[in-house]
Copies of this chain bind each other. A is one copy, B any other.
Amino acid sequence: MAPTIKQIAKLANVSIATVSRALSGDEKVTSETKQLVLNAASELNYRPNILARNFVKGKSNIVGLILPDISDEFFSEIIRGVDETSYDHGYYTMVISSHKNRSLVESVHTLMSNGLVGGFIILIPFMDQKIEAALMHEGVPFVIISGDNNAGEFDTVTTNNYQSAFKMVEFLVNKGYKKIAHISGPADNNDALLRKKGFLDACSKHKIEIKNNWLLDGNFTMESGELAINKILNEDDKPEVIFAANDMMALGCYNAIQSRGLKIPDDIAITGFDDILISKYANPSLTTVKVNTDRIGKLAAERLIEKMDGTNNKTAQKIEIESELVIRNSC
């Protein structure tokens, strides 16, 4: 059986209250008794029972992290960022990944009221009525990670999808490209939507004609990128450059292009979004937008912990993470 403060009390010949105080660094204990207690504790190899502590305090030092049903590089970085920050503040991280048997909404309901976590971070690809309603219910504090920071009066951490996509287009325009196509992500993904909007707005600002069939639909997978580009690679009037809404699709384009014996960027240029691990090493290396994923997790956790600690409960903050153009050799 794991040692408890009772046993420490016995060993140190003090009351459990004193033990509790000594261990939590209460000013009022003499340094002698404190030493006594600390010695006893270390002798017994004591570790406080977190469950009991959270329980009695009526609040938990566990941070919940609700993830949608996908798994990739992006998520592990978020998890790491959150856990690292949580740890530094004395919190634990609990991952709640959604899947066929458990929806985002259900997870929200549960975590709001089962006392397990003291707060949570939730990744929302697309905010809908149901999720919003679930979040409105009173409960523990939370922070949203989302492509869109306009989602109600909630604390949100987001990347500047729109601006970065906009900048990417301007960069291409400055390089002299005039015929630009876009492969967009899933229609139910705010990051994808905002990137597309950034693309469209930048094009119209710079008087870039947007041909309808150059607005291609993808779903963020490599396959969908390949599929999309194949639709226009046969036509006479080809775009000079393709801006894919993420790197995976961009790399899908690489395949389609290179398997036709065409050269990137000479025959057709490609740019992406995300800067995943391999993009740097792709051949040619991919020009893209570096999303600072680790910072997203970190800042979301920091903001959440502020709220959990009650340090800063002021009105909802909208935190936007800067991302940067990474110019390489694909355009």
Taking beta carbons and an 8 Å cutoff, which residues of A are in contact with B?
2, 45, 47-52, 54-55, 60, 62, 65, 71-73, 75-77, 79-80, 83-84, 87-88, 92-97, 99, 101-102, 109-110, 113-116, 139, 222-223, 226, 248, 251-252, 254-255, 258-259, 277-278, 280-281, 283
Contacts and interface: CB of A to CB of B under 8 A. Distances in A.
Contact of A87 (B47, B51, B101, B281): B101
Nearest to A84: B99
B114 A50 contact: yes
Given A51-B54, A51-B115, A254 B278 contact: no
Contacts of A255: 281, 283
Given A87-B102, A93-B94, 12 more contacts: A47-B109, A49-B55, A49-B114, A51-B55, A52-B115, A65-B95, A71-B76, A75-B76, A93-B96, A248-B278, A252-B281, A259-B283
A94 B95 contact: yes
B60 A80 contact: no
A308 B79 CA distance: 25
A123 to B, nearest CB: 12
Given A45-B113, A115-B50, A278-B222, A99 B80 contact: yes
A79 B226 CA distance: 29
A60 B52 CA distance: 11
A269 to B, nearest CB: 17
Contact of A71 (B79, B87, B97, B254): B79
B281 A251 contact: yes
Contact of A92 (B51, B73, B77, B96): B96
